[in-house]
Amino acid sequence: MARYEEVFDALGLREWCDANKTDAPMSMAQLLAQTQGDDAAAETEGLPFPSLDVMHEACAAIGQTRDLTEGLEQGFLAIRGELKFVLDPVTQPLSWLLDGALFVFESAPWWLMIPALILVSWFVSKSRAVTAFVAIVLLFFSLIDHYDVAMQTLAIVFVCTGLSVVIGVPVGIGMSRSNTAQRLIVPLLDLLQTLPTFVYLIPLIFLFSVTESKLYGIAIILYAIVPVIRLTDLGIRLVDKDVIEAADAFGMTSRQKLTRVQLPLALPNIMAGVNQTIMMSLAMVVIASLVSAPGLGVLVLRGIRNLELGVGIVAGLGIVLLAVILDRVSKAALSRVDKQRNAH
């Protein structure tokens, strides 16, 4: 550090540095050097990069990296009360929906729920192969005593996917009708899409109780909502300009063009976004089990924590099967819609 100390001395900043000198805790590099001995010291020989911790050692007036992280933490905690006051009533319906869906799926007897899910699959897909596959998977869950946890996972996915579509499609429509809105929203979508999944949980844990369903519900929705927004915006923007001009020639209003022309033509892209949202909801359910989300993810975590290989593999296979049946049903529904549209 001598070279950096010489820099501050040459600039005449030594008095400023010494005036702010405090007994700061050890940095991570110092802690490693203390625990690892000469090996760590040898690795840091030469001129290190002038990071905050390195410059702090030469001039105490410069803050450490831990000052930055602590500042972020204190800033978040300072506004935590106000955020909680605003977000609690807004997000409370999500807890009610999740708790209600879990109650219905858990309390409904299997001889009623399984036929109902099979009928829904047939009504949506009109495919015998898909409906038979759904029936086989549900019976398989019942056979291996994973029916209850599978129903919990399905309940969470249905609620979170449904809300993602209800929120995401209007946002995507708004983006498609305004370039300014698109420029403002796309960076936020990029952030949500690239943020590591575990990071979604960190601020939510400080805002909500772990016992509240909305804690994991918000995390799942934030993670899964991006595809349906992007593909709704893309689908509407890809509608042929000649078709829009023809609609204008017929004197259609903006609402009529949206509901009768743009949305029907953009439906394949929107359905593809819904499909991806379903898959991402299932992926996040496993991570959300860290904060009390019930379902198959709990068994996956149990397999990891207790080194129970079989439990983890079977639960993971169950999640894969749920993903497959939801994917097949949604794709069959899209194919059916395309055939009906082409027939007209």
How many whole angstroms separate alpha carbon 239 and alpha carbon 243? 7
How many whole angstroms separate alpha carbon 86 and alpha carbon 149? 33
Contact 121, 329 (CB under 8 A): yes
Tens place of pLDDT per residue across the chain (344 aa) = 456 787 777 778 877 787 766 555 555 565 556 665 555 444 555 677 877 878 877 887 787 888 888 888 899 989 998 999 999 999 999 999 999 999 999 999 999 999 999 999 999 988 899 999 999 999 999 999 999 999 999 999 999 999 999 999 999 999 999 999 999 999 999 999 888 888 888 888 888 888 889 999 999 999 999 999 999 999 999 999 899 899 888 888 888 999 889 998 898 899 889 999 999 999 898 888 888 889 999 999 999 999 899 999 999 999 999 999 999 998 888 887 777 766 66
Buried b (16+ CB within 10 A) or exposed e, 276-294: bbbbbbbbbbbbbbbbebb
Domains and CATH numbers, the chain: 2-63 (no CATH), 80-343 (1.10.3720.10)
How many whole angstroms separate alpha carbon 335 and alpha carbon 95? 34
Task: Give pLDDT, residue 42.
Answer: 47
The pTM is what? Answer: 0.85
Three-state SS string over the chain comes to CHHHHHHHHHCCCHHHHHHCCCCCCCCHHHHHHHHHCHHHHHHCCCCCCCCHHHHHHHCCCCCCHHHHHHHHHHHHHHHHHHHHHHHHHHHHHHHHHHHHHHHHHHHCCHHHHHHHHHHHHHHHHCCHHHHHHHHHHHHHHHHCCCHHHHHHHHHHHHHHHHHHHHHHHHHHHHHHHCHHHHHHHHHHHHHHHHCCHHHHHHHHHHHCCCCCHHHHHHHHHHHHHHHHHHHHHHHHHCCCHHHHHHHHHCCCCHHHHHHHHHHHHHHHHHHHHHHHHHHHHHHHHHHHHHHCCCCHHHHHHHHHHCCCHHHHHHHHHHHHHHHHHHHHHHHHHHHHHHHHHHHC
How many whole angstroms separate alpha carbon 95 and alpha carbon 118? 27
Nearest Cα residue to 293 out of 217, 182, 201: 217
